[in-house]
Amino acid sequence: MINFTEDKKINSSPCATIVVPCYNEEEVLPETVKELGAIRQNLVGQGAISPASKLLFVNDGSRDKTWQLIQQFTREYDYVAGIKFTRNYGHQNALLAGMSVAVKHSDLIITIDADLQDDVNAIPKMVAAYQAGNDVVYGVRNSRATDTVFKRRTALAYYGLMKRLGVNLVPDSADYRLLSKRATEALLQYRERNLFLRGMVPLVGFKSTKVYYPRKERFAGESKYPLGKMLHFALDGITSFSIAPIHLIMGLGVTTVIISIVLMIYTVVEKIRGNVVSGWSSLMVSIWLLGGIQLISLSVIGEYVGKVFTEVKHRPRFNIEEETYSRQFEEGDRDTQREHLD
Ligand code: UDP
Ligand code: MG
């Protein structure tokens, strides 16, 4: 009788996988496992998720002891699994790898950074929103009190710019979100190499909602997104999702031609008046200005050609050296099969 109810509970509650990308996170990892483990335990206890639910850590080519720690936790807790990349492929690829490995065995996938900046207490709310019929649940920061003024301002300007460029983003949501199995499968159909997941998820559609949480300080260690990397990521977001910059160049070209027609008329008039030598300053200015505009325009076009270049090569987005997640499920399956045979 007891077995029957337990079986029923296992069958009816969804299997969740929490995917955590890790790059040199040895300082935070023990705390992350502790906090996420507790959240998982509570949810399993309430019957909100199945006991097969797992934490999946993706080691993105860390140079510190991150992988050794993940292995240690895998041995200590049966609900911890790991993926080891052959080298550093970046945050977005780590998330994608985690999702593509987890999707086979999971009904829902939650992605969260390793540094505990995103409040883990939003996870039960996300699961509740999933139970209420949402396929996509965005974690949205309701306060950026811990971010620097610079980061807050630039983020705001960036969301504004993206909106004007016609890119649909959920403001103040990063890569902390829940996706159902079918939403993940749909997302994995997007085969692009230039990954900007927070722009891709809204494209997938499905019923979605938001869960608000306060953004905290990094628990320990340093940001793995220094300014240069962040700018690169921001630019990637624009050029992967919008060709508005190319239209802008067109506008710039037309404006320059109109200005030059006016200047031509002015030049002719000046020549007739006999003031020809006075043109030195305007000549210098226009040479530099036009040269600059041309270089910028070329580089913008080059940016898109570069994107096409990386896409057509169809290189794999990541390579996995070791993976314990699927094995754990298959071993679990074998155990249950054996039990049935016994
Ligand atoms: N990360 C990663 N690969 C990288 C850089 C970062 O997997 O090349 C992970 C990192 O371990 C963390 C998450 O991505 O879990 C977000 O990085 P971080 O917290 O340093 O970024 P920030 O919050 O400062 O923007
Ligand atoms: Mg962080």
328 and 210 fall within a common domain: yes
| Pocket lining for ligand 1, CB < 6 angstroms | 21-23, 25, 60, 88, 90-91, 94, 113-115, 117, 223-225
- Return the closest-CA partner of residue 328 out of 93, 82, 100: 82
DSSP annotation string for 260-322: HHHHHHHHHHHHHHT-GGGGHHHHHHHHHHHHHHHHHHHHHHHHHHHHHHHHHTT--S--EEE
* pLDDT digit string, tens, across residues 183-238: 999 999 999 988 889 889 999 999 999 999 988 887 778 888 888 888 888 888 88
Q: Give dist(CA 244, CA 167) in Å, integer.
A: 10
Task: Starting from the CA of residue 197, give the closest ligand.
Answer: 1
Whether 301 has a pLDDT exceeding 90, the answer reads no
End-to-end CA distance of the chain: 19
Cα 223 to the chain's mean position, in Å?
A: 15
Catalogue the long-range contacts made by 259-265 (C-beta closer than 8 Å, 24 or more residues apart).
Answer: none
For residue 144, the surrounding DSSP H or E stretch is none
What's the 212 CA to ligand 1 centre distance in angstroms? 21
Range of the domain at 95: 10-227+323-341
Lowest mean pLDDT among 153-167, 242-256, 324-338: 324-338
How confident is the prediction for the chain on average, in pLDDT? Answer: 86
Higher pLDDT, 118 or 279: 118
The answer to whether residues 111 and 175 touch, using CB atoms and an 8 Å cutoff, is yes
What's the 82 CA to ligand 2 centre distance in angstroms? 20
74 and 200 fall within a common domain: yes
Q: Give dist(CA 59, CA 323) in Å, integer.
A: 10
Assign 3-class secondary structure to 238-258: HHHHCCHHHHHHHHHHHHHHH
Residue 235 inside a domain? The answer is no
Nearest CA to ligand 1 atom 2: 91
216 and 306 fall within a common domain: no
334 and 299 fall within a common domain: no
Q: Which residue has the tokens 């050029």?
A: 239
Atom of ligand 1 nearest to the CA of 117: 23
Q: Give dist(CA 250, CA 86) in Å, integer.
A: 43
Nearest CA to ligand 1 atom 19: 223
Q: Give dist(CA 291, CA 341) in Å, integer.
A: 78
Task: Give the pLDDT of residue 247.
Answer: 80
Pairing of β 136-143 and β 173-180: antiparallel
Nearest CA to ligand 1 atom 7: 91
159 and 274 fall within a common domain: no
What's the 35 CA to ligand 2 centre distance in angstroms? 16
- Find residue 17's DSSP bridge partners: 54, 109
Query: Three-state SS for 159?
Result: helix
Q: Which residue has the tokens 């270089």?
A: 295
- How large is the average pLDDT for residues 308-328? 89
132 and 274 fall within a common domain: no
Task: Give the pLDDT of residue 244.
Answer: 81
Task: Give the pLDDT of residue 100.
Answer: 96
Residue 337 phi, psi dihedral angles, 5° rounding: -60, -45
- How large is the average pLDDT for residues 154-166? 86
Query: Three-state SS for 122?
Result: helix
Nearest CA to ligand 1 atom 25: 225
Residue 114 inside a domain? The answer is yes
What's the 265 CA to ligand 2 centre distance in angstroms? 57
114 and 207 fall within a common domain: yes
How many domains are contained in the chain? 2
Whether 11 has a pLDDT exceeding 60, the answer reads no
Residue 93 inside a domain? The answer is yes
Residue 171 inside a domain? The answer is yes
Whether 84 has a pLDDT exceeding 80, the answer reads yes
Residue 76 inside a domain? The answer is yes
Residue 298 inside a domain? The answer is yes
Residue 190 inside a domain? The answer is yes
Tell me how many helices (H) and strands (E) the chain has: 12, 8
Q: What CATH number is associated with residue 61?
A: 3.90.550.10
Cα 175 to the chain's mean position, in Å?
A: 5
Token pair recorded at residue 134: 């949402």
63 and 203 fall within a common domain: yes
171 and 305 fall within a common domain: no
What's the 160 CA to ligand 2 centre distance in angstroms? 22
* pLDDT digit string, tens, across residues 247-281: 888 788 888 888 888 888 888 888 888 776 666 77
Task: Give the pLDDT of residue 137.
Answer: 96
What's the 177 CA to ligand 1 centre distance in angstroms? 15
- How large is the average pLDDT for residues 38-44? 95
The answer to whether residues 217 and 117 touch, using CB atoms and an 8 Å cutoff, is yes
- How large is the average pLDDT for residues 124-146? 91
Nearest CA to ligand 1 atom 14: 91
What's the 127 CA to ligand 1 centre distance in angstroms? 24
What percentage of the chain's residues is helix, strand, coil (to nearest 5)?
Answer: 55, 15, 30
Q: Give dist(CA 280, CA 188) in Å, integer.
A: 59
- How large is the average pLDDT for residues 60-70? 95
Instruction: Tell me the CA distances in angstroms from 228 to 88, 102, 233, 238, 316, one per residue in order.
Output: 17, 31, 9, 16, 25
Q: Which amino acid appears at position 277 of this protein?
A: V
Mutation probe of ligand 1 site: the residue of 91, 111, 177, 215 with most atoms within 8 A of C-beta: 91
118 and 254 fall within a common domain: no
Residue 199 inside a domain? The answer is yes
The answer to whether residues 150 and 143 touch, using CB atoms and an 8 Å cutoff, is no
Task: Starting from the CA of residue 32, give the closest ligand.
Answer: 1
- How large is the average pLDDT for residues 312-322? 91
Q: Which amino acid appears at position 32 of this protein?
A: T
Q: Give dist(CA 51, CA 44) in Å, integer.
A: 6
Share of the chain above pLDDT 90, in %: 49
120 and 60 fall within a common domain: yes
User: Environment class of residue 135 by beta-carbon count within 10 Å: exposed (0-12), middle (13-18) or buried (19+)?
Assistant: buried
151 and 264 fall within a common domain: no
